[in-house]
Structure 1
């Protein structure tokens, strides 16, 4: 996916979609507004069809995962939008063409430009393949958007069991490259797991994931 497979009948729309505010008007902010709504609708519809039995909460979390800035920016990079952006000198010097927020905004603006150029169905047919790999990688509905600690807590609460206790077992390494070892202790069923990570939070998540696997609750 190095280029988007669409030829504009109105190239000025694409130019505007790629023009950052720093480069002057007409810039892409209005297109970004429209593109954000279109992307949310495309993804909402796709998830509704993809998960016919998922509840509203799971659908909402999945959509948030797919349309967040950190998900859109890599797509923009795959489409090489950074090299096509029109930026003001200051924004270019500060690396705006590499910034996630700028790239994600440009992607949404391009979506709107395609919609205005060709209509809803044509836009959806161009845009949805960009999201296919991410949709294929989504976890099951009950897991999406939930980290391991949250899933473990919900599993225990669902069985009316005491919540886990996390404790720091060891901390090693230099300040800039520490390694934390955390234990996750369950009373019922009795279980102790360990997790390692570059931060205490990451180690706790790893320990919780190990507990979920040991419980067969993944």
Structure 2
């Protein structure tokens, strides 16, 4: 009975996430094979990888392809679970609140976007013509979603052990950086830095515009006093302001080094 249940489950998953073999283009398969060779955990069934790389805009233009949206849904949960486990083991004495902050910093859009860039995912994602024109504008969101789809595809292709191995390898440096005091919350860090150095608080001016695809794009400017220190963009007000704070913190610290550093 258990074998029948597992067989039924595999069949259901296959129907959801694997595209029709006869309609996968030769060029797409060639590019997929090329990307697979670069991955720390390669795929057994490349058609799972094809789906992971297929953005909804491409699937809507090529109806034989399956969008990666459902994989993204699963991958979000898988990445969160594995990163939580890694942090739990890496920081055994940390409080729950601190572990939550670390996980949030690692799995937020910007963090996952960075991991996707490290993998070179931006060179292999399949985008529709309209979305491709917005590649730079929506790049962090597109790549973060693609990364989550990729992790889910690995899970369905080879199991949780393979997915955990992949996430562990990809997040190794980022987790190691936490030992060295990596900034988790740039808005809070910027506020603390400006208060300490010049007794002023940063202010944010954030506006939203409608992108060509109908989605909201937020742009945020951060000033300290009358000086503009950073600009950021994102798919939400929070993400845009965090991105602006990151740029502003780097600029502000270069102008106002700690006293112990200025004489070096």
Task: Name the CA shift for 1:180/1:58 in 2 (closer, same or farther; >3 Å).
Answer: closer
Task: Name the CA shift for 1:181/1:40 in 2 (closer, same or farther; >3 Å).
Answer: same
Task: Name the CA shift for 1:92/1:32 in 2 (closer, same or farther; >3 Å).
Answer: same
2:69 is aligned to 29
State whether structure 2 residue 189 is matched by structure 1 residue 147: yes
1:16 is aligned to 51
Tell which has more relative contact order, 1 or 2 (C-alpha 8 A, sep 6+).
1
- Please state whether the residue corresponding to 1:198 is helix, strand or coil: strand
Conserved? CA contact 1:87–1:96, under 8 Å: no
Match of 1:94 among 134, 142, 145: 134
- TM-aligned CA deviation for residue 30 of structure 1: 0.8
- Please state whether the residue corresponding to 1:86 is helix, strand or coil: coil
Deviates more, 1:6-15 or 1:114-123: 6-15
Structure 1: runs of 5+ lacking an equivalent: 154-162, 169-178, 183-195
Superposed, 1:103-114 pairs within 5 Å as 103-114=143-154
In the alignment, the residues of structure 2 paired with residue 66 and residue 45 of structure 1 have an alpha-carbon distance, to the nearest angstrom, of 13
- TM-aligned CA deviation for residue 96 of structure 1: 5.8
1:166 is aligned to 199
- Please state whether the residue corresponding to 1:113 is helix, strand or coil: helix
Conserved? CA contact 2:75–2:148, under 8 Å: yes
State whether structure 2 residue 89 is matched by structure 1 residue 58: no
State whether structure 2 residue 146 is matched by structure 1 residue 115: no
- Please state whether the residue corresponding to 2:127 is helix, strand or coil: coil
- Taking structure 2 as the reference length, what is the TM-score of the superposition? 0.57
2:4 is aligned to none
Task: Name the CA shift for 1:124/1:167 in 2 (closer, same or farther; >3 Å).
Answer: closer
In the alignment, the residues of structure 1 paired with residue 75 and residue 192 of structure 2 have an alpha-carbon distance, to the nearest angstrom, of 32
Match of 2:80 among 40, 47, 54: 40
CA RMSD of aligned residues (A): 3.7
In the alignment, the residues of structure 1 paired with residue 177 and residue 145 of structure 2 have an alpha-carbon distance, to the nearest angstrom, of 23
Task: Name the CA shift for 1:94/1:167 in 2 (closer, same or farther; >3 Å).
Answer: closer
Decide which structure has the larger Cα Rg and report it.
1
Runs of 4+ residues over 3 Å off in structure 1: 143-146, 148-153, 179-182, 205-211
Conserved? CA contact 1:58–1:144, under 8 Å: no
Task: Name the CA shift for 1:118/1:97 in 2 (closer, same or farther; >3 Å).
Answer: farther
Structure 2: runs of 5+ lacking an equivalent: 1-36, 60-64, 202-222, 231-244
In the alignment, the residues of structure 2 paired with residue 42 and residue 209 of structure 1 have an alpha-carbon distance, to the nearest angstrom, of 37
As a proportion of its length, which structure holds more helix?
2
- TM-aligned CA deviation for residue 167 of structure 1: 4.5
